C-alpha cells in the first residue's frame, strides 16, 4: 500500500513539470507568495523506516537478522527563510512514529519471544533543510532538497538496566541523520501545496550493546542505522 502511494506521488512529481512546460501561460495563483523573507507552514506525512544492518566477526556463526517495518506517521511545522530567489533554508521540527520488528534468524528454536524483538519509536525530528528550486512556471515549481537532522527518541530504553537477556532490544536516544529528496510546489488559490519524497539515512550507530557477552542479539552487529522513505505533504 505504502509503495503504491509512493509510486503514484513519484509519477505526479515527474509528470507535473512536463505538463506545465506544455501549457501556455496562464493566470498566476499567489503571485507574491515567494517575495517575503520568511514564511511558515505545516506538514503531514507517512514514513516507512527500516534498519540497515552490517555484521562484524563474533562468536555467532552466520548471523542473519531480518528487519520488518510498518508504516508510520509524521506531523510538524515549517519555518522558511528565503536566501536567494532559488534557495531556501528551512527548519521543519516535527513528530514521527513507527515500529520495526527484528527477527534473529540465526537463533535456533521456535520461541518467538527469543527470536523476535519489536522496536517502537516516537521521535522528535529536527531537520535543517536546504531547498533548491527551479524558476516558477505558471503555478508549478519543482525542487530538490537535502539536509541534516537530529532525532530524539522518546521511546528509547538506552539507560534501561534490562537488555535482550530480559527481552529488551535497546537503541540510542539521540541520533543524527541526513536526508535528500525531490518535490514540486503547486500554487493553489489560497495556499501552496508541496508533495515530496525523501530518503532518510542514519549517520551514527543506533545500537546499544547488551551488557553480557556473548550476546546472540547484539554481538554480531557492527552497525545498525535507520534507513527510511518519507512521503511529505507540505501546506504553506
Exposure pattern of 171-180 as b/e (b: 16+ CB <10 Å)? bbbebebebe
Q: Is the pLDDT of residue 123 over 70?
A: yes
Instruction: Specify the pLDDT at position 89.
Output: 97
The mean of the pLDDT values for the chain is 87
pLDDT attached to residue 9? 45
Note the pLDDT of residue 2: 45
The pLDDT of residue 167? 84
Asked if the model's pLDDT at residue 3 lies above 90, the reply is: no
pLDDT tens for 167-189 read 888 999 999 999 999 999 999 99
Residue 92 neighbours by CB distance under 10 Å: 22
Amino acid at each position: 500500500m505504502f509503495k503504491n502511494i509512493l509510486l503514484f506521488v513519484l509519477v505526479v512529481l515527474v509528470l507535473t513539470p512536463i505538463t506545465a512546460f506544455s501549457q501556455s501561460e496562464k493566470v498566476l495563483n499567489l503571485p507574491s507568495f515567494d517575495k517575503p523573507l520568511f514564511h511558515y507552514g505545516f506538514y503531514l506525512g507517512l514514513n516507512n523506516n527500516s534498519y540497515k544492518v552490517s555484521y562484524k566477526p563474533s562468536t555467532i556463526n552466520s548471523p542473519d537478522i531480518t528487519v520488518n517495518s510498518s508504516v508510520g506517521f509524521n506531523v510538524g511545522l515549517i519555518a522558511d527563510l528565503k536566501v536567494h530567489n532559488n534557495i531556501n533554508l528551512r527548519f521543519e521540527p516535527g513528530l514521527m512514529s513507527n515500529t520495526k520488528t527484528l527477527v534473529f534468524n540465526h537463533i535456533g528454536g521456535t520461541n518467538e519471544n527469543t527470536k523476535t524483538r519489536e522496536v517502537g519509536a516516537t521521535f522528535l525530528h529536527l531537520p535543517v533543510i536546504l531547498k533548491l528550486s527551479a524558476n516558477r512556471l505558471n503555478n508549478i515549481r519543482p525542487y530538490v532538497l537535502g539536509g541534516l537532522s537530529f532525532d530524539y527518541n522518546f521511546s528509547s530504553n538506552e539507560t534501561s538496566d534490562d537488555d535482550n537477556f530480559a527481552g529488551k532490544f535497546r537503541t540510542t536516544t539521540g541520533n543524527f541523520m541526513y536526508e535528500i529528496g525531490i518535490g514540486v510546489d503547486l500554487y493553489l488559490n489560497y495556499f501552496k501545496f508541496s508533495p515530496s519524497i525523501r530518503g532518510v539515512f542514519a549517520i551514527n550507530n543506533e545500537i546499544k550493546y547488551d551488557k553480557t557477552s556473548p550476546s546472540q542479539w547484539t554481538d554480531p552487529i557492527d552497525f545498525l542505522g535507520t534507513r527510511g522513505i518519507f512521503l511529505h505533504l507540505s501546506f504553506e
